[in-house]
Amino acid sequence: MNYAYTILYVADVPASLRFFEAAFGLATRFLHESNAYGELETGATALAFAQLEVARDSLGGDFIEAARSERPLGMEVGLACTDVEAAYARALAAGAQPLKPPTTKPWGQVVAYVRCPDGCLVELCTPMGG
């Protein structure tokens, strides 16, 4: 078994791709001509987005929309970087909601949390052991 991708279900795929590029510097790898599915350049695996209707069709049912939830869902996208303070400031400038400013954990890792306009929870952190 290999980890292949994560798909976030969002109302507006192109808007989420634009936000992630502005907030986190991740370029769009692919956007389907229907605007219903897109992926970001993230290395060996993909961070992808699918329209809510496409996701419902694929699942054959409904789910909790991250953007409609008052609180973040119990999952996050983790993005590692060397300067969490700068990454946090960039994300806020792009429109992210601040949840927890950069904090140094007892094991030395610096971690911050933001919520994206599409409702997704993102952790910004220094690499473990770095």
Q: What is the pLDDT of residues 40-75, one digit of tens each?
A: 999 888 999 999 999 999 999 999 999 999 999 999
- Whether the predicted pLDDT of 128 surpasses 90: no
CA distances to 63, 89, 115, 126, 129 from 73, rounded to whole Å, are 11, 23, 10, 22, 27
Rg (CA), the chain: 15
Question: Taking a C-beta distance cutoff of 8 angstroms, is the pair 30, 42 a contact?
Answer: no
Sequence spans of domains, the chain: 5-125
Predicted TM-score of the model (pTM): 0.94
The answer to whether domain 5-125 has CATH 3.10.180.10 is yes
